Amino acid sequence: MPIRTVGIIGLGLMGQGIATCLLAHGFEVIGLDTDKAKFRATQLHVARELKELNKQLGLAPKILATWKQRLHRAEGYADLASCELVLECVREDLALKRSIFAELEQAVPQTTIIASNTSSLPITLLQQGRLAPGRYLGMHWGEPAQIMRYLEIIPGKQTKAAIVTAAKRFGIACGKEPAVLKQDIRGFLSNRLMYAMMREAFHLVESGIADIETVDQSFRNDIGWWALLAGPFRWMDLTGIPAYAAVMEGLLPELSTGTEVPKLMKRVVRSKALGVANAKGFYPYTPASAKRWEQDWVQFTYEVRKLAERYTPTA
């Protein structure tokens, strides 16, 4: 069954971005949130972000003319009954997600695909005790969801192959380049790669090899330079494979294998730093400089999207 109407449970940071992405690609969206104010916030967010999307990348006039009629508010689970797909986007809490699935299952047909945007919970665990567990899977979105091409699709042990295929097709229709995993694993792909890198970054700083700024500088100017065009394997192809094998022999035994949250991280969290959100992070900020970083990040993602489309087109 083609996906035309998508339910979103949880209209927070991710839910609002995903709603924007879906409306920009012509889907009907039905949003459900226990906080009544979130639907209005979503309308405002979508209006602002679609305007920007149109300015930066261009949108069909029909999309702009119809999005308001395609965004609906759900008063309860019964209003999600017409959805071919429901995306769960509430906070990372296993018990909460499970209670939502239990209610949702009673309201939608067993053909409705149910996806969780969980960042870390194993999909196989979410499938346990579910009605028709074969239609459950992970769809891990990136933020800003309306701009990024990132989407990871994660089957649990019980997910049916046809559901994975439908999710991939849906991701492409949303302008993504979906990465489909063969198996469920904690952290999926990009988070595992990112946390391996972050562990080493903390190790370098805590061992006094370089300060935070210098680690960031090196990362941006080397890995950051090629990572949009090539993943690690393409990069080795581009630059000559045998040298990497030789370096691995000496270097891998020296890389951090720590399993504790780094001391520096604990200290920064204890200081109540949230990052640019409260102008307090690994770097010092003023409210104005924090705002500028936020704005630069959004503008940068638009520029990067254009560059990515040029060198590694999705279509």
Ligand X SMILES: NC(=O)c1ccc[n+]([C@@H]2O[C@H](COP(=O)([O-])OP(=O)(O)OC[C@H]3O[C@@H](n4cnc5c(N)ncnc54)[C@H](O)[C@@H]3O)[C@@H](O)[C@H]2O)c1
> Could you tell me which residues come within 8 angstroms of residue 306 by beta carbon, excluding any fewer than 6 positions away?
57
* Residue whose pair of structure tokens reads 């209610």 in the numeric block: 103
Assess 33 for contact with ligand X (CB under 6 A).
yes
Assess 92 for contact with ligand X (CB under 6 A).
yes
Near ligand X by CB under 6 A: residue from 1, 4, 34, 277: 34
Nearest distance, CB of residue 180 and ligand X, angstroms = 17
Q: Which of residues 109-138 bind ligand X (CB under 6 A)?
A: 117-119
Assess 141 for contact with ligand X (CB under 6 A).
yes
Assess 35 for contact with ligand X (CB under 6 A).
yes
Strand order in the sheet with 113-116: 71-73, 28-32, 5-9, 85-88, 113-116, 136-141, 151-155, 179-180
Assess 308 for contact with ligand X (CB under 6 A).
no
Nearest distance, CB of residue 224 and ligand X, angstroms = 19
* Residue whose pair of structure tokens reads 């060198």 in the numeric block: 311
Assess 14 for contact with ligand X (CB under 6 A).
yes
Assess 20 for contact with ligand X (CB under 6 A).
no
Number of chain positions touching ligand X (CB under 6 A) = 24
Cis, peptide link before residue 144, omega less than 30° from 0: yes
Assess 105 for contact with ligand X (CB under 6 A).
no
Distance CA 69, CA 65 (A): 9
Token digits of residue 76: 């309860």
Near ligand X by CB under 6 A: residue from 6, 19, 38, 154: 38
Give the interface segment with ligand X, choosing from 140-148, 152-160, 172-180, 223-231 (CB under 6 A): 140-148
- C-alpha radius of gyration, the chain, whole number: 21
Near ligand X by CB under 6 A: residue from 6, 30, 32, 166: 32
Assess 89 for contact with ligand X (CB under 6 A).
yes
Distance CA 202, CA 221 (A): 18
Write out the DSSP string of 261-284.
PPHHHHHHHHTT--BGGGTBSSSB
Assess 49 for contact with ligand X (CB under 6 A).
no
Nearest distance, CB of residue 254 and ligand X, angstroms = 32
In the complex with ligand X, the residue whose CB is nearer, 90 or 205, is 90
Assess 199 for contact with ligand X (CB under 6 A).
no
Distance CA 211, CA 206 (A): 9
Assess 12 for contact with ligand X (CB under 6 A).
yes
Assess 294 for contact with ligand X (CB under 6 A).
no
Q: Do β-strands 136-141 and 151-155 pair in parallel, antiparallel, or remain unpaired?
A: antiparallel
The residues of the shown chain that bind ligand X, judged by CB under 6 A, are 9-15, 32-35, 38, 89-92, 96, 100, 117-119, 140-141, 143
